[in-house]
C-alpha cells in the first residue's frame, strides 16, 4: 500500500467532512454507507441548531457549553471550507426563543443565571464574531410577561431570547453530497453495509474492513457510523464504556404554501418540543414524547420503520396537539402545509436516564469526541453543529 489508504465508515456530516479533508491531504479515501446516497440519515433529518450551549440548561456545570462552543462558532467557516460557498439564505433570521415549561427540570431562576453565564462565555470567546451572526455582544433577553402572553400558553412560565441560529440541514446535505461525490481521492461505496473491522494479519497498522460486498485492507479506519458505531468498535477492540443510550427520534418537516409568521421556539427543559422557522415557509416541528419511537442501551438499535399514510398523519396530529397549547397560532403552519414529511434519525449519547429526571446523564453532552486504538479512530460526533470543526481536527491529527 504505497499511498496511505483510509476507510471512512459512514457518510453523514462527520464521515463526509473527515473524508474530504483527508483526500485533500493526499490520502486515498473510501467512504462506506449502507444508504444509496451520502448525507441521508441523521445529518439530513435534524433541526440544524448550531449550538452555543444554551440548550443544556440542566447541566449543573458549564462543561457542555464549553465543549460545544468552538465548533458552533466556527461552523460556518468550517463548512465554507468544505463546500466552497457561504450559507447565506439558509440560516434562521432571528434569535431563538426558549420557553420555560412549568414542569421544566430547571426553574426560570436557575435558567436565567445559566443563560447569562453562557452568554458571558460566548462573548469572551475569540471566535465570537465568526458565528452565523456576530455574537461578540451576546446577551440573553428575558421576554416581558405581556409579550410572553401573546407567544405562549399557560404552561409557559418564562421566556428568553438567545442569539442562537439554525441552518437548513437538507440544503447542507444536498451540497455536501455533491462535493464528496466529485472530490478527487474519495471513492464512495454506497448501498454497502459495514459488518466489522479487524486487524489485518501480519501487518502493523493495517485493518480489514468487512462489508456485505468486497472487503478492503486499509492503513487507517475512521468509524463515523453514529448509530452503528459501537458494534463495529467492539469488534475492532475498542470496548465501549457504559452508560450510553441510542434513541431514534421522529419529527415533522413542513413546507407551507404561503409565508407564515412563527418564531423559532423551544420548550425547555425536559421532554418537550420545538419549532424551527427557517425562512417563513420551511419548518421543523417536534414533540419529544411522540417522536421518541425507539430507545436502547444495547450496542446497536435497529432503525424503526418510518410511518406513512394514516400512521404518518396520526403522528403529525400528535405533534400538533402537543405544540398548539404551548405556542398558540402554530396551527397555521400545519393548516398551510403544502408538503409534510415525517422523518428522523438516531441520537447517540454517552449517558442514560429520562429527560424528565434532572439527574439524567442526557442533560449534558460534554464527553463526545475521538477514541482510538492504533490507527483505528472512532468518532462520537456528539452534535451536528460541532462536526465540521471536529472533523478538521481529526483529519489534521491523522495527517500528523
Ligand X SMILES: Cc1cc2nc3c(=O)[nH]c(=O)nc-3n(C[C@H](O)[C@H](O)[C@H](O)COP(=O)(O)OP(=O)(O)OC[C@H]3O[C@@H](n4cnc5c(N)ncnc54)[C@H](O)[C@@H]3O)c2cc1C
Q: How far is the CB of 29 from ligand X (least distance, A)?
A: 15
- Give the up-direction half-sphere exposure of residue 167: CA atoms within 13 A in the CB hemisphere: 24
By beta-carbon proximity to ligand X, the closer residue of 107 and 330 is: 330
Cell, residue 290: 411522540
Whole-number Cα distances in Å, 107 to 3, 103, 110, 146, 289: 56, 8, 6, 20, 21
Q: In the set 227, 270, 271, 388, which binds ligand X (CB under 6 A)?
A: 227
Out of 18, 23, 29, 42, the residue judged to bind ligand X by CB under 6 A: 42
The residue behind cell 446577551 is: 139
Q: How far is the CB of 227 from ligand X (least distance, A)?
A: 6
Taking CB under 6 A as the criterion, the residue among 8, 19, 27, 48 binding ligand X is 48
Among 33, 183, 216, 366, binds ligand X (CB under 6 A): 33
Sole window of 26-34, 148-156, 197-205, 264-272 interacting with ligand X (rule: CB under 6 A)? 26-34
Q: State the Cα–Cα distance between residues 52 and 164, nearest whole angstrom.
A: 7
Exactly one of 21, 49, 246, 364 binds ligand X (CB under 6 A); that residue is 49
The residue of the chain with the least Cβ separation from ligand X equals 12
Q: Answer for the pair 168, 119: CB distance below 8 angstroms, yes or no.
A: no
**How many residues in the chain?**
400
Closer residue to ligand X in complex, CB, 53/159: 53
What burial letters (b/e) apply to 316-354, b meaning 16+ CB within 10 Å?
beebbebbeebbeebeebbebbeebebbbbbbbbbbeee
What's the min distance (Å) between Cβ of 1 and ligand X? 23
Nearer to ligand X, 148 or 279 (CB): 279
Question: Of residues 84-113, which lie at the interface with ligand X (CB under 6 A)?
Answer: none
Whether the CB-CB separation of 300 and 231 falls below 8 Å is answered with: yes
* Rounded least distance, CB 230 to ligand X, Å: 10
3-class SS of residue 116? helix
Site residues (CB under 6 A) for ligand X?
A: 10-15, 32-35, 40-43, 46-49, 51, 193-194, 224-228, 249, 251, 344-347, 381, 383-385, 387
Amino acid at each position: 500500500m504505497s499511498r496511505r489508504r483510509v476507510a471512512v465508515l459512514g457518510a453523514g456530516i462527520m464521515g463526509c467532512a473527515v473524508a474530504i479533508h483527508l483526500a485533500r491531504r493526499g490520502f486515498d479515501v473510501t467512504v462506506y454507507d449502507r444508504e444509496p446516497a451520502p448525507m441521508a440519515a441523521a445529518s439530513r433529518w435534524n433541526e440544524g441548531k448550531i449550538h452555543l450551549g444554551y440548550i443544556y440548561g440542566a447541566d449543573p456545570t458549564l462543561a457542555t457549553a464549553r465543549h460545544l462552543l468552538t465548533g458552533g462558532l466556527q461552523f460556518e467557516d468550517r463548512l465554507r471550507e468544505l463546500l466552497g460557498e457561504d450559507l447565506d439564505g439558509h440560516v434562521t433570521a432571528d434569535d431563538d426563543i426558549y420557553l420555560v415549561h412549568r414542569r421544566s427540570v430547571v426553574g426560570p431562576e436557575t435558567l436565567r443565571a445559566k443563560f447569562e453565564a453562557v452568554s458571558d462565555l460566548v462573548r469572551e470567546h475569540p471566535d465570537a464574531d465568526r458565528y452565523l451572526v456576530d455574537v461578540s455582544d451576546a446577551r440573553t433577553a428575558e421576554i416581558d410577561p405581556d409579550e410572553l402572553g401573546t407567544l405562549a400558553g399557560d404552561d409557559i412560565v418564562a421566556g428568553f431570547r438567545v442569539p442562537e441560529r439554525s441552518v437548513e440541514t437538507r440544503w447542507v446535505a444536498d451540497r455536501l453530497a455533491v462535493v464528496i461525490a466529485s472530490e478527487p481521492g474519495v471513492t464512495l461505496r454506497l448501498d454497502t453495509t459495514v459488518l466489522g473491522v479487524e486487524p489485518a494479519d501480519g501487518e502493523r497498522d493495517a485493518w480489514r474492513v468487512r462489508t456485505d460486498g468486497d472487503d478492503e485492507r486499509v492503513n487507517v479506519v475512521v468509524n463515523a457510523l453514529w448509530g452503528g458505531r459501537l458494534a463495529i468498535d467492539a469488534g475492532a477492540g475498542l470496548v465501549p464504556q457504559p452508560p450510553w443510550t441510542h434513541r431514534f427520534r421522529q419529527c415533522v418537516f413542513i413546507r407551507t404554501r404561503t409565508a407564515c409568521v412563527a418564531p423559532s421556539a423551544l420548550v425547555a427543559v425536559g421532554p418537550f418540543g420545538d419549532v424551527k422557522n427557517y425562512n417563513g415557509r420551511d419548518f421543523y416541528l417536534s414533540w419529544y414524547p411522540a417522536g421518541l419511537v425507539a430507545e436502547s442501551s444495547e450496542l446497536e438499535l435497529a432503525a424503526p420503520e418510518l410511518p406513512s399514510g394514516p400512521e404518518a398523519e396520526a403522528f403529525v396530529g400528535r405533534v400538533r396537539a402537543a405544540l398548539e397549547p404551548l405556542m398558540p397560532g402554530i396551527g397555521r403552519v400545519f393548516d398551510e402545509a403544502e408538503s409534510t414529511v415525517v422523518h428522523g434519525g438516531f441520537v447517540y449519547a454517552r449517558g442514560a436516564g429520562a429527560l424528565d429526571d434532572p439527574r439524567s446523564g442526557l442533560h449534558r453532552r460534554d464527553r463526545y469526541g475521538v477514541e482510538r486504538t492504533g490507527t483505528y479512530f472512532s468518532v462520537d460526533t456528539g452534535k451536528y453543529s460541532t462536526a465540521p470543526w471536529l472533523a478538521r481536527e481529526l483529519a489534521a491529527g491523522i495527517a500528523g
